[in-house]
Each structure stands twice: as structure tokens, then as C-alpha cells.
Structure 1
Amino acid sequence: MKSAKEPKVKLTLTVKKSAIENAKKYAQLDGSSLSNIVEDYLVEYSKTSKAENQSDFKSSLAYQLMGCAKGGPLDNMTDDEIQDMRIKDRYSL
């Protein structure tokens, strides 16, 4: 049974020139295209759930060190509240 071929759409990215040049060399050596490499990455990236990503972060050194400076202005906030605040500041939310 044949499956319906999913249509391709164009994607514009802004990436460092050196990263593109290196990726094109890798793709050529791999016998692939840069588009295929990016597509494969996006497919694999989207397979990991948000819970798995959060679990990875919560086991990281950065997460373990959050809130370790006692007596500071953030002392009365939980680690999750501090993390939310930093994300909102970073992305202007």
C-alpha cells in the first residue's frame, strides 16, 4: 500500500555563515542534502516530549544550582518561579 506523499514547504532560517558552510560539507560527505538533514533533525526533535525535555533540565547542573544563593532578592521565590521569570524576561513575554 502506498502512502500519500506529504507536501514540502519552504523554510527560511537565519544561521551563521560558517555553520551553513560546515553543514553543506557534512551533507555532501553524507550523500545527503542540507534540507534533508534539517528535516531529519526536526522530525527527531519533535519526537521528544516536553516532559522528557523538562526531565533532562531538572537533572542538569544548572537546575541543581538554581536558588543556591540564599539571602538574595529571589530567596522567597521557588526555583520554578525563578525559571518562569527568567524565561519571560528572555523572550519578552
Structure 2
Amino acid sequence: MCGNTTGGTWSSTWTTKVNALYNALFNQTASQARAYYNLYGAMYSNTVSPISYRGKFHTGIDMTYSSGCNVYAPISGTIKGIDRTTWGTVYIEKSSGVNIVS
């Protein structure tokens, strides 16, 4: 389910725009889950969690990868570690030497 601060659904205007963008990029249509998954804070779980995103945006992007998979990002850097106790904090060292914690 896609969510926003108005009750958990996208407006038809945004749905049309996202679908058009996906089609322009990949020359195909996609399911809602596939087309919307990595939008900034757009997806949330309906399950009960310690953070309880139910019906709310969060400022992260949820990704799931298996061990050993490549992760591609818009900036160069090296993932130096993760902290599973803080729900996905990732420590990245950029090639410029500046550290990012997200």
C-alpha cells in the first residue's frame, strides 16, 4: 500500500505522474508495488512495528538485498557498517573522506 499523510493513498494526479515516469524510463507498465517501492518515504507497512509507520511517511528508503549483492548509489563511497539495532542505520564513507550516517 502506498501512503501519505492523508490516510494512506496517493492522489490520482500523483499516480498518473508516477506511472508515466515509470513508463518513460522503462518503456513498460508496472504494478503499484514495483513502481512506487523506492519513492522517498512512500511505502510503509501495515503491520505493527516498534517504530509504527502505520499511515505515516518516514524519511528513509527501504531496500532489501541478500549478502554479497552490489548496491548502486548516486555517490561513490564504501559502506563501512550497519547498525541493525537502530532500524537500518548505514555508515558510508565517501571518497572525499566525508562520512555519512543515514
Task: Tell me, yes or no, whether TM beats 0.5.
Answer: no
Structure of larger gyration radius: 1
Q: Taking CA–CA contacts closer than 8 Å with sequence separation of 6 or more, which of the two structures ends up with the larger relative contact order?
A: 2
| Higher helix residue share | 1
Q: TM-score, normalising length from structure 2?
A: 0.28
Q: TM-score, normalising length from structure 1?
A: 0.30
